[in-house]
Amino acid sequence: MTNTVKTMALCVGLRSAAITVLAGMLAAPAAAEARQQRGPLVLKSASYFYVGGKVDPKGKGNPIVGHMYVEYMIPQRLRSPYPIVMVHGGNQTGTNFTGTPDGREGWAQYFVRRGYAVYIVDQVARGRSAHWNHVYGDVQPARLNQVEQRFVAPERFPMWPQAKLHTQWPGTGRPGDVNFDQFYAAQAVSIASFPKQQEINPPAIIALMEKIGPSILMIHSQSGAFAWPVADKRPDLVKMIVAVEPNGPPVRALQTIGAPDWFKDGTTDKLSGLGEVPLSYDPPLGEGERLSFVRQDKADGPDLAHCWLQKEPARKLKNLANVPVAVVMSEASYHAAYDHCTVAYLRQAGVPTDFIRLADLGIRGNGHMMMLEKNSDDIARVMDRWIVRQITNGRGARKGKKK
C-alpha cells in the first residue's frame, strides 16, 4: 500500500470514528426529542429585555447593577389571563425552564403551548444578568460532588432516607454521560452570600411584574426565599405562587449528615422565618422585637425532619392572605424530608397553601431538579391543572377574593 493510500485509509477511519462519537452524543437528545412528538411552537412574539438596576457611580467602571435578564415567549393563541414568571434556583439560570439535558422542550414551552405568556429570568448577577465581583462579593466554587449527590444521582449517596427512590434522571447520572455533562455545563457563577441574593432579587422581580402586569410566580429551590418578599411588597401583582420545592425549611436550615441521624438543625433563626428579608406580620413586630419559634417535639414521620413553627398565638402574613400557594414536592428529593414544614408554617401564618405531593398522584422517582427529568411533562401538567382551578374558582383573580 502506498503512503497516499495509507493516508486516505487513515482519514476515512478517523472520519468514521468521529461520526460514531458524534452520533453517540446526539442520540440521546434526538431520541428524547422524538418522544415528545410535538408540532411547531407557534408564537406571536419572543425576545428579551432587562429590568431593574441602575448605574453604580462607586463601582469600578460605573457598571449597571441590580438588573435582571428576562426572556419571553408569547403564544399566538393566548388563553391565560395571567403570564407565568419563572425564577430558577441556586447556581442555575433560566435554561432550567427552556430545555432539558436530553434535548426535550422545557416547562417554558409546555406552558406556552397551553396558552400562557411565559417570562423566564436569569437572577440578578447570574447568567446573562452580568456579575461584577467587585460589587457583589465572593462567588461560590464549582461543586461537582453536590451536583451528583443532591441533583443528578442521589440514589448513589444515601444522605437522606428518600434518596434511594430516585429513578427519573435521564442517562447514567455520572460525569462523562452526555446528559450529566449538559447539566453540569449549565452551572453558573453565583454570589456566595445567600442574604445578599435575597436582598437584590425581589426588587428586580417586582420591576418585571410592574412592567408586564399581575402574574403567576413560579419559583424553584433557592428562589423560594424571593417569592415571599415579592408577594409581601406587591400582593396586587402576585396572583398565585407555584413553589417548586422552595428554599427551606422555615426558621432553621438543615445540615444533611446521612444515616443514622440524617438531619441536624442549624443554629441560627431566619429573620422572617422564611428568609432574611423582613415580612409584614400582623400583629407587627415592635422595634428590636423578633419572631418567637418552637421546634416540634416529635417529627410527623420516621423519615421526616422536625418542623419549626411560630409560638402560638402565631402572627399572620397579612399581605399573603389572598395569594394562593402550591408547594410542589417530589418523592426522592432532599426536600421530601421537610417541605411539609414549609406548608405548615405558611398555613399557620394564614397563607392559603395547597401541598402537592407528586408521589400521591402516581408521579414517582423524581429528585430536586424535576423540571429536567424524564417525566417533567407529567409534573407540568399537574401544575397547570392547579393554576386553572385557581383561576376558575376565583382564587387570586382579584384582590380580596377569599378561598
Supply the residues annotated as catalytic: 221
Closest CA to 48 of 119, 117, 96: 119
Contact 93, 186 (CB under 8 A): yes
What residues have CB less than 8 Å from 96, skipping those under 6 apart?
A: 88, 89, 106, 186, 220, 369, 371, 372
Q: In what order do the strands lie in the sheet with 238-246?
A: 43-55, 64-75, 118-122, 84-87, 215-221, 238-246, 325-329, 353-357
CB 43 within 8 A of CB 75: yes
HEC per residue, 293-340:
EEECCCCCCCCCCCCEEECCCCCEEHHHCCCCEEEEECCCCHHHHCHH
Q: Rounded to the nearest 5 degrees, what angle is found at the Cα of 81, between the Cα atoms of 77 and 86? A: 90
Cβ atoms of 373 and 169 within 8 Å: the answer is yes
* Rounded Cα–Cα distance for residues 196 and 194 (Å): 5
C-alpha cell at 36: 415528545
CA distance 252 to 276: 11
Distance CA 244, CA 327 (A): 6
What is the signed CA dihedral for 74, 78, 80, 82, rounded to 10 degrees?
40
3-state secondary structure of 368: coil
Residue 1 burial (10 A CB sphere; 0-12, 13-18, 19+)? exposed
